[in-house]
Amino acid sequence: MLIPVRCFTCNKVIGQKWNPYNDKVTEYLSSGDTEMNARGKALDDVGLVRYCCRRMLLSHVNIIDQLLQYANNPSEKIVSSITPEESEQEDEEN
Ligand SMILES: [Zn+2]
């Protein structure tokens, strides 16, 4: 999903470091570093020293772009199988 705004353990704000981190990783990878070295150097560059904060970026899987494919498109009509009368009846029952 989205990168958490704060580290779960120490509460340091890390949300703004995701994009610089990714840019650094691709930069180091293109310069011939291994995956592990590139990520380590990138974490050092964005200023994440504690391992609790480093794991937040290392273990993050960014799937928001894939999830957005399934988001409701506001230009489309929302198709509901329940008519307004039926939903009012349900409200009265509850
Ligand atoms: Zn932390």
Average pLDDT over residues 2-22: 94
- Checking if the pLDDT of 21 tops 90, the result is yes
Distant-in-sequence, close-in-space partners of 3: CB < 8 Å, separation ≥ 6: 14, 15, 18, 56, 57, 60, 62
Q: Domains of the chain: which residue ranges?
A: 15-93
For residue 17, the CA-to-ligand 1 centroid distance in Å is 13
Q: When comparing pLDDT for 74 and 80, which is higher?
A: 74
Ligand 1 geometric centre to CA of 26 (Å) = 23
DSSP 44-65: HHTT--SHHHHHHHHT----HH
What is the pTM (predicted TM-score) of this model?
A: 0.69
Enumerate residues 6+ apart whose C-beta is below 8 A from 18. 3, 57, 60, 62
**pLDDT greater at residue 68 or residue 15:** 15
Count of CB atoms situated within 10 Å of the CB of 33: 16
Gap between the Cα atoms of 17 and 24, Å rounded: 11
Q: What is the pLDDT of residues 55-77, one digit of tens each?
A: 999 999 888 888 888 877 666 65
Fold of 15-93: Arc Repressor Mutant, subunit A (1.10.10)
